A and B are shown apart, each in its own frame.
Chain A
Amino acid sequence: MIRNYNIAGFGGQGILYLGQCLAFAGMLSGKHSTWIPSYGPEMRGGTANCMVVISSDLIRSPLVYSSDVAIILNQPSLEKYGPGVKTGGALLYVSELACPKNPLNGVNLWPIPAKAMAEELKLPMSMNMIMLGALLTIDPILSVNEAEEAIKEITPAHRSQLIEMNIRALQAGREYIEKENLAALQPARGRGGG
């Protein structure tokens, strides 16, 4: 089992934190995981992205060239990373902030209204966790519980009030997918993608 993830959006959306939660959850589940942030000039340019790999075997390349899953929180990132999703892979994106302009053949598209959901939760900064909850429900190689543990582990002590909020958002993402009866990646094959 191996999953390569590209996670991208604007700086301030919690992109790197999302990736860290995912990678930590991978580690907590007994798998190998790596996380690499965008660093360099891009750090100052307003966009943020990170690469995560989770694998049951030792990870060779921590760099993600083509992804099994892309989690996208804005339009420029969708244009950059959408075409890099493998055939049969999944593209999760915040439906209010991004929209595929060109057809992505063989890719499962998962538009998630995370912006509205975050506003409903009165947690406008929680789109990242909603997307993570959705991801782990669509592709349950890790459990949402493991992600909760990861959140507890990596949130710094002085920001511990965020733990509960993040877990709520994570659950909201899970419930959205379950409610929409969109469970599991496999049955969804053929959805979207044009």
Chain B
Amino acid sequence: MIRPDAPVLLEIRDLHASVADQPILHGVNLTLRAGEIHAVMGRNGSGKSTLSKVLAGHPAYTVTGGSVRYRGEDLLALDPEQRARIGLFLGFQYPVEIPGVSNLEFLRVATNARRQEGGEEELDTFAFEDLVNEKLQVVQMDPAFLERSVNEGFSGGEKKRNEILQMALLEPVVAILDETDSGLDIDALRIVSGGVNHLAGPDNATLLITHYQRLLDAITPDYVHVMAHGRILRTGGKELALELEQRGYDWVDAEPAVLEAV
């Protein structure tokens, strides 16, 4: 939903970042306003996942230039946990398995950290179980997964559902979903995208990172951005995704900005 007067939630300006001294992002510009769904598409290695990790504050990535403002605040100055507490959420491409840590406890500790930041009361185990059972329905997840270790032995689809369950509990202001569609069969894709649609509202924004059009059949983006060589080369509406689907990415290499970069 595009509303030109909606408040800006995330403003990325000329962002440069590197990992292990290898520059990956070469000046990304992107603005997310409340109510908007953005899709970032691009080939492997274009910098899409790096962008998501930099925004979430992964310690392996170094910002070498530019700025990111989250509701006017300097996001890059905050620890990853603080970014999450004020409403930034990263859905992982490969959710991490954590043996021995109960999924239910993990979800409760995370939810309470976010609530506390918002000045809300912490939930005890009983109140939290009520909440989590309600949210499970968003992703049609079996409550048995709450009793297991975080993501341990979950199938690809179950891991992604668990990500969306976390999103449902944390009610982020800006959700970045990194290849949430990868590894999903048709049913899981339907459930996961249904969850994302359910959670997207006029007061939050969603950034979808994906390779494929099929996710965008289920979640309609307001903007589609094409990323290559660490920059956003082109921005358009959802029809741009269809164009990519038909033409592939080869044409990207002929773009003047790319020729300039390589």
- Are A and B part of the same complex? no
Interface residues of A (CB under 8 A from B): none
